[in-house]
């Protein structure tokens, strides 16, 4: 994992280094740079995960091409042995296969990569940039008034340099000759082709396979464990796989009080599956003080993203301080299976299916953005098995009637996933966790966390100031004092119009209110949560 910065054109090398250091947190281990004879530059801030000794980037191919890559290519060994068996490799780093695939296939190779990636490749006067299918890894692109083109992992490196800037679209590559090309075109993108019958064994095997490949690492690895279904399944699968090799898996949870709902559930899971568990507590006042720094890292003003990212920010720092560089996380399951509580209100199977597809393709603006930037703020890499291409093909192709929840008839949200892992002879989870109601991460750390944020914003944003919201923020006008406050903090660091327009707000559908908290959904069970 790392932070990448590429400037295609003719730029000052010292300036490139200054801009690159704005995302040094993404790659604290080393820095590398390559400058073409024409003046274009690739700059790479590295977090060493694979090939600690020879994996310095940018990496040169067989001849004149160079690449830098943020992400992991899980099938790099298979590519070396088969499609690239005639190539001479300089490193054992997974990233190097990208430049050799370019040499072998020109631009038509992104679908051969199994993993997550944002990369820029330069070959003389030619260049190519690409982003993984779902946008697990971030990337932004823009141009300046001199015609130089910029690419970076985070927009803080380039926003004030560009006259125009946007988020690089997931599932696309870009070259000067072709413009943007959409290479990722899964059958399930068309809701009419989501017509497969439910096969619990196939679904279970696909998630186990997705998790297994994400254990690839030359450094210590752990798992984020909120106690919800998704992270608990990920932890349980990983623990079974790690136990086979005789290693110890560390699990981590976060909250404002030891008896917060997620922390209680996480302890039950950790005890059941046998991980070495760590519980991280943060103070609510500490969280409020961190909001500005969190928003600087996240590069968003979306309310639900910030609410959830703040606990994740504290958790990531604690994990990184323990010397662990890689964690597995459960992002994506709620989008794939319609797990958010508002999905109970879907008016039909067709509308349910369309919403899951749209949510998956918008993950790069929400949960993927949060998971990447909150963890990388501490130099920690998060891997997401649910967004594996193979698993997506199985899970997204399923008929909606198997996924759509119906509480009146006893069908809980994400039923197919729960049922697939309801294995009695060698259980993955205790029943009370396997069938636990969806609790959104920002809520589960302690209900007082979100309640206090709202009260805090109500105090510091006056009624008079909030009344001017549409004049001060005509684009994406905030509709609550909380959203207003977050927007003020965001524009302190990212005032450019193109920065503001990169943000897509997360809003629940088919719900009487637009509060993103799961507790705002009518279907949410009341609890005795006091913290």
Give the closest residue to 507 by CA, choosing from 517, 497, 492. Answer: 517
Rounded Cα distance between 522 and 513, Å, is 10
Rounded Cα distance between 425 and 202, Å, is 18
Q: Is 2 a catalytic residue?
A: yes
| 9 close to 148: Cβ distance less than 8 angstroms | yes
Residue 149 — φ and ψ, nearest 5°?
-110, 135
Tell how far CA 64 is from the center of its chain.
33
In the structure encoding, which two tokens stand for residue 13, read together? Answer: 């090398």
**What long-range pairs does 524-530 form, CB within 8 A, spacing at least 24?**
524/341, 524/437, 525/437, 527/261, 529/260, 529/261, 529/446, 529/447, 530/259
Alpha carbon separation from 457 to 65, 473, 484, 503, 506 (Å, rounded) = 51, 17, 8, 21, 19
Which of the following is catalytic: 2, 93, 162, 457?
2
Residues in the chain: 531
Q: Are strands 149-152 and 2-8 parallel, antiparallel or unpaired?
A: antiparallel
Give the number of other Cβ atoms within 10 Å of residue 98's Cβ.
28
Q: At what angle do helices 303-321 and 284-298 cross, to 10 degrees?
A: 100
**DSSP sequence for 92-157:** --TTHHHHHHHHHHTTTTGGG--EEEEEEEEETTEEEEEE-SS-SS--EEEE-TTS-EEEESSGGG
β-sheet bridge partners, residue 3? 45
β-sheet bridge partners, residue 68? 120
**DSSP sequence for 253-307:** EEESSTTSHHHHHHHHHHHHHT-EEEEEE--HHHHHHHHHHHHHHHT---HHHHH
| 25 close to 379: Cβ distance less than 8 angstroms | yes
Place of tokens 């040169």: 60
- Provide the annotated active-site residues: 2
């Amino acid at each position: 994992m790392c932070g990448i910065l590429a400037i295609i054109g003719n730029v000052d090398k010292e300036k490139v280094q200054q801009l690159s250091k704005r995302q040094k947190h993404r790659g604290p281990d080393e820095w590398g740079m390559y400058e073409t004879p024409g003046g274009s530059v690739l700059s790479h801030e590295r977090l060493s995960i694979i090939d600690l000794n020879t994996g310095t980037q940018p990496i040169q191919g067989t001849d004149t091409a160079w690449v830098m890559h943020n992400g992991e290519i899980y099938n790099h060994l298979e590519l070396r042995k088969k499609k690239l068996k005639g190539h001479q490799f300089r490193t054992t780093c997974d990233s190097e296969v990208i430049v050799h695939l370019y040499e072998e296939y020109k631009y038509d190779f992104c679908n051969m990569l199994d993993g997550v990636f944002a990369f820029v490749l330069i070959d003389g006067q030619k260049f190519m940039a690409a982003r993984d299918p779902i946008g697990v890894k971030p990337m932004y692109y823009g141009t300046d008034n001199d015609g130089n083109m910029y690419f970076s992992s985070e927009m803080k490196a380039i926003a004030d340099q560009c006259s125009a800037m946007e988020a690089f679209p997931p599932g696309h590559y870009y070259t000067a000759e072709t413009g943007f090309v959409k290479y990722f075109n899964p059958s399930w993108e068309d809701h009419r082709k989501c017509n497969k019958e439910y096969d619990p064994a196939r679904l279970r095997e696909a998630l186990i396979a997705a998790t297994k490949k994400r254990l690839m690492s030359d450094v210590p690895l752990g798992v984020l464990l909120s106690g919800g279904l998704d992270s608990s399944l990920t932890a349980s699968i990983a623990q079974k796989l790690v136990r086979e090799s005789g290693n110890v898996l560390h699990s981590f949870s976060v909250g404002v009080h030891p008896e917060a709902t997620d922390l209680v559930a996480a302890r039950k899971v950790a005890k059941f599956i046998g991980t070495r568990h760590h519980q991280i507590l943060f103070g609510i006042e500490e969280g409020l003080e961190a909001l500005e720094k969190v928003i600087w890292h996240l590069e968003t003003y979306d309310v639900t993203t910030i609410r959830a990212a703040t606990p994740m920010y504290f958790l990531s720092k604690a994990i990184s301080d323990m010397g662990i560089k890689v964690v597995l996380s459960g992002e994506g399951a709620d989008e794939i299976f319609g797990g958010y509580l508002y999905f109970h209100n879907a008016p039909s199977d067709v509308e349910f299916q369309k919403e899951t597809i749209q949510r998956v393709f918008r993950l790069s603006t929400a949960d993927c953005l949060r998971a990447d930037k909150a963890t990388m703020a501490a130099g920690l890499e998060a891997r997401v098995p649910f967004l594996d291409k193979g698993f997506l093909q199985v899970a997204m192709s399923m008929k909606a009637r198997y996924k759509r929840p119906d509480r009146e008839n006893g069908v809980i949200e994400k039923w197919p996933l729960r049922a697939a892992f309801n294995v009695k002879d060698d259980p993955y989870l205790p029943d009370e966790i396997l069938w636990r109601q969806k609790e959104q991460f920002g809520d589960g750390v302690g209900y007082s966390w979100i309640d206090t944020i709202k009260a805090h914003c109500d105090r510091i944003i006056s009624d008079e100031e909030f009344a001017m919201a549409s004049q001060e923020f005509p684009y994406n006008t905030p509709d609550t004092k909380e959203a207003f406050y977050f927007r003020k903090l965001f524009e302190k660091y990212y005032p450019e119009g193109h920065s503001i327009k990169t943000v897509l707000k997360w809003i629940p559908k088919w719900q009487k209110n637009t509060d993103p908290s799961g507790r705002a959904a009518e279907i949410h069970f009341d609890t005795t949560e006091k913290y």
